[in-house]
Structures are given as C-alpha cells and as structure tokens.
A and B are shown apart, each in its own frame.
Chain A
Amino acid sequence: GENVEQHPSTLSVQEGDSAVIKCTYSDSASNYFPWYKQELGKRPQLIIDIRSNVGEKKDQRIAVTLNKTAKHFSLHITETQPEDSAVYFCAALEYGNKLVFGAGTILRVKS
C-alpha cells in the first residue's frame, strides 16, 4: 500500500519568512495530493491540493509543487503570518478513495 513520509516534523520560522514542507510517497499510481491545516483543537481543513496532471498550483500565499518522477510534493507558504501556525498534513490518494496521511509538521511562526 501507499506510504507517505513528511519532513520536517517541526518548523519554526520568523514572521514574513517562507516555509517549505516536503512529502514523499511510494505508490506511483497515486494521482491526488491534498494538504490539510489543523489548528489546535480543530478539525483538519483542506487548504490546497494538486492532481498529477499539473506540476504546480498556487493560491495566494500558498503553493504546492509535484514531482511525479521523484514521487515527492511540497507545500510552500510565503510571507508567513502568526495565524499560519498550525499542524500541516500532506496526503496521497490510494486505490478507491482512501487518503494516506503523513505524520504532520508543526509550524510555528514567530512574531
């Protein structure tokens, strides 16, 4: 089955700097890669996703890149703000409609 590894496990950045979180997956058949943001005590919320027919997708300060050959994808957050502090999860869609999640990255934005 699919296996998703996520790095780093924690990331501290200064407000205004960029943050990058990387994930690798094992199943070359996976074709959908979402990112979720989870604030303390809240539900995971879908913030951006990418399907395998594109290499990059942007939404304001957030972007995701996908390298299918290397089987990795990354989340980029520019001009970080304190409200970006949260746990971020990457995921890959396995057979059927099953998401396999990474272990999560705790992002702290220091003001």
Chain B
Amino acid sequence: DAGVIQSPRHEVTEMGQEVTLRCKPISGHDYLFWYRQTMMRGLELLIYFNNNVPIDDSGMPEDRFSAKMPNASFSTLKIQPSEPRDSAVYFCASCPAGLRGEQYFGPGTRLTVT
C-alpha cells in the first residue's frame, strides 16, 4: 500500500493567492482528516470526513478555508485568499472504519505564504 499521498509537498505563494492542497487516503479507509501543525499551536484538527461527508469542521479557522471530498479517493483543502499566518505544515490522515482512532498520516504539505 502506498500510504496516504499528499501534493504538493512544498508550496510557496504570495499573500492573497488561492492555495489548493490535495490528499489521497489509503484505499478502504472511510475517514479522512485534515490537520495543521505549527510550533505555536501544535497539531490542530481542521476538519474530518466519514464516507466523503464532512462530520466536524469546527477546527476550520475562517471562511477562507474550505475542504471537499468528492469521492473516496480524493480530498482538497483550499485557502482563498491566503495570508502569511496560514504558513504551516498541513497533514492529511486516514483511518479505517473498523479501527476507530488508528490514523495514518501523509507526508504533509509545507505551505509558506509571503
């Protein structure tokens, strides 16, 4: 199994630009999670999906952030417009339905907004 796949691995953009991060979960995993990691705030859950349906988006910081999961093998996290304070590492993780909590992380996308 290839594990969770994220792209791009690094993204540098200017303030005000739209940023789209992509994730492919492990095949057969029913849950998908988006996290943000910074030194100041640690690992924060932004949103998670079950069977492609958003379950909890209480961690999404602002309306500038949106996430979609159009099918079981693909999800996007979009920031529009981006701001310097959005600079962080964004991780996607997936989890099988039968093993609640056992989350497997992707390699992350390091986002820098200048």
Interface residues of A (CB under 8 A from B): 32, 34, 36, 42-46, 49, 89, 91, 93, 96-99, 101, 103-104
Contact = CB atoms under 8 A, between A and B. Distances in A.
B94 to A, nearest CB: 11
B101 A101 contact: no
Contact of A99 (B55, B103, B106, B108): B103
Contacts, number: 47
A interface secondary structure, majority: strand
A36 B93 CA distance: 13
B34 interface: no
Interface in B31-64: 31, 42-43, 45, 48, 50, 55-56
Interface string B88-114: 000100010000111111111000000
B51 to A, nearest CB: 12
A34 B91 CA distance: 17
A91 to B, nearest CB: 8
A101 B105 CA distance: 14
